[in-house]
Structure 1
Amino acid sequence: MTLTWRPLRTLLPALALAFAAVAAPSAAAAAPTRAPAVTSGWNDYSCKPTAAHPRPVVLVHGTLANSVDNWVTLAPHLVDRGYCVFSLDYGQLPGVPFFHGLGPVAKSAEQLSAFVDKVLAATGARKADLVGHSQGALMPRHYLKFLGGAAKVNALVGIAPDNHGTTLLGLTKLLDIVPGARDAIHGLTPGLTDQATGSDFLRRLNEGGDTVPGVRYTVIATKYDEIVTPYRSGYLSGPDVTNILIQDRCSLDLSGHVAIGVVDRLAFHEITNALDPAHATPTTCAG
């Protein structure tokens, strides 16, 4: 049976809403807030890294989030531990405030590249560490592989990433079942379809291996992830890779996709371990 435009036109908004949830860490979890004040130490371009923490940390938000909402808990957590912390907005669409990460992922990687250069110039550091949630952990891999980022980045820590795409509980199959759906949604919000399992973006990104030399990779996943499905699609293969399932640290941790990136203290512990492996301590249900 051939679908006519009328039912297709009705279905596409529903599909777009469904895929808008892909890797969205905080759109429903937090209302838009104002940018962090420099007096908090977050996005403070006068901050100079110390001998204990010699690299600035760049936080990369997920889809439908922004540089504030995604990091209202983690950024102060890291600042309190002596890190210079910065966060950026990327993937903005015209006329869509606050909810970012919707533009082409490769273009977003160009924004990250410029931002890292800005942070390195301000801090005087030779390299940065990146911490990303969801798309914010996937997109930097394009920067590392194709835009020269490997020379400027020491470590990439990914929280609930969709490194090999998401099926969104099978909904992404509709992109190819419904005639014109993939092209229509990609034309509106390419950042969403780029993350769907089997996308051209993902095929190019993962061709020839998941990692690049010289960068340490950490993936922190949760088996209760309802957005990145299956959750194991976030795992990476290659040298200098550590894949962590948070439930292996504490079986009582019930965090889903949003919570693991926004409020999960066990995930935060693993992040600090990844940023400073020489002083890592065991992560348990007690913290």
Structure 2
Amino acid sequence: MKLPWKRIRRLLPALALAAAVALPASAASAATPATTSQALSSSGWNDFGCRPSAQHPRPVVLVHGTLGNGVDNWLGLAPYLVARGYCVFSLDYGQLPVVPLVYGLGPIDKSAEQLSAYVDKVLAATGATKADLVGHSQGGMMPRYYLKFLGGAAKVNALVGIAPTNHGTTMSGLTRLLDYFPEVRDLIDETAPALTDQVAGSEFLKRLNAGGDTVPGVRYTTIVTRYDEVVTPYTSGYLSGPGVRNVLLQDLCPLDLSGHVAIGLTDRIAFHEVANALDPAHATPTTCLSI
């Protein structure tokens, strides 16, 4: 059914808001098509023949962000971890039928079910009893639903969130405009529910964070940047509870100006902290010179 033009004009300001929420995250996806899984396997990434070593006994599953995918989001971090001896895997989740190449737009609880199935696949292939999860943006928050409600805590040792949307975002106050345009909120809920699920104060986030941010038996690390223009305030990415370490990038290197996209795609200081979180027994100090 086509919307009447008068109604469309009334929705334009809020549609612009939806674009403001979505577009910064979409920059995390490269302009080129996703690399084939066969090519990734030949480079040691998404190689289901990989067997974890005694030094790194758990496979690492990378979880992309909103409007990302399992390849483009990890062109920096995946090779970084492979070179350090990890078995590394990544998945696509939250696909919409009419949106190719970029994902993470579907209902977050359903995306968590996809993650659950993928972790089971990785554990079966590698013979490991537990995995470590590393996620960017939505990918740093969504696994918490898996851990809390889908039995993931028994299968996961650590969750590392890079600029995660753990307590939602206000987009510097822009998301409050949705309160004045309920039709647009409903439209986004119907067409790309992951966007409104990540707005601060959403029903999804209330359920996720009720009763505490963490579950027993899992180590949590968040890595955030003061210059995050998507997750605002940046402190909303922090977690509270046992087994949590919250890291501000600028405490490690005051010269680091990475925003929401760069911290997940190219920031070697953040990558070094990911490696420390995955193997805390052999962690080394992170500085501006870390590689």
**TM-score normalised according to structure 2 size:** 0.94
Contact 1:22 1:228 (C-alpha < 8 Å) held by counterparts: no
Structure 1 vs Structure 2 CA RMSD: 1.3
Q: How many angstroms apart in 2 are the aligned matches of 1:25 and 1:151? A: 34
- How much identity, in percent, do the aligned residues show? 70
Q: Name 1:8's counterpart in structure 2.
A: 10
Q: Name 1:32's counterpart in structure 2.
A: 33
- Residue 113 in 1 paired to residue 128 in 2? no
- Residue 19 in 1 paired to residue 11 in 2? no
Aligned-pair distance for 1:31? 3.1
Aligned counterpart for 1:205 among listed residues 208, 216, 219: 208
Aligned-pair distance for 1:286? 1.0
Q: How many angstroms apart in 2 are the aligned matches of 1:49 and 1:192? A: 35
Q: Name 2:87's counterpart in structure 1.
A: 84
Contact 2:178 2:185 (C-alpha < 8 Å) held by counterparts: yes
Aligned counterpart for 1:139 among listed residues 134, 137, 142: 142
Code of the residue aligned with 2:122 in structure 1: it is V
Q: Name 2:3's counterpart in structure 1.
A: none
Instruction: Provide closer, same or farther for how the CA distance between residues 6 and 92 of structure 1 changes in structure 2, counting only shifts above 3 A.
Output: closer
- Residue 68 in 1 paired to residue 67 in 2? no
Trace 1:1-287 onto structure 2 (pairs within 5 A).
Answer: 5-21=7-23, 23-24=25-26, 26-27=28-29, 30-36=31-37, 37=39, 38-287=41-290
| Structure 2 SS opposite 1:78 | helix
Instruction: Provide closer, same or farther for how the CA distance between residues 84 and 45 of structure 1 changes in structure 2, counting only shifts above 3 A.
Output: same
| Structure 2 SS opposite 1:154 | strand
**TM-score normalised according to structure 1 size:** 0.96
| Structure 2 SS opposite 1:86 | strand
Aligned-pair distance for 1:248? 0.1
Contact 2:11 2:183 (C-alpha < 8 Å) held by counterparts: no
Code of the residue aligned with 1:18 in structure 2: it is A
| Structure 1 SS opposite 2:236 | helix
Code of the residue aligned with 1:11 in structure 2: it is P
Aligned-pair distance for 1:177? 1.4
Code of the residue aligned with 1:35 in structure 2: it is T
Aligned-pair distance for 1:12? 4.0
Contact 1:25 1:134 (C-alpha < 8 Å) held by counterparts: no
How many correspondences in the alignment?
Answer: 283
Higher helix fraction (1 or 2): 2
Structure 1 portions without partners, runs of 5+: none
Q: How many angstroms apart in 2 are the aligned matches of 1:199 and 1:31? A: 33
Code of the residue aligned with 1:31 in structure 2: it is T
Contact 1:22 1:195 (C-alpha < 8 Å) held by counterparts: no
Aligned-pair distance for 1:24? 4.5
Q: How many angstroms apart in 2 are the aligned matches of 1:155 and 1:123? A: 17
Further displaced range: 15-24 or 240-249:
15-24
Q: How many angstroms apart in 1 are the aligned matches of 2:32 and 2:173? A: 28
Q: How many angstroms apart in 1 are the aligned matches of 2:232 and 2:24? A: 10
| CA deviation string 1:28-81 (max 9, x = no partner) | x54333234211000000000010000000000000000000001110110011
Code of the residue aligned with 1:15 in structure 2: it is L
Q: How many angstroms apart in 2 are the aligned matches of 1:44 and 1:249? A: 33
Further displaced range: 10-19 or 216-225:
10-19
Code of the residue aligned with 2:9 in structure 1: it is P
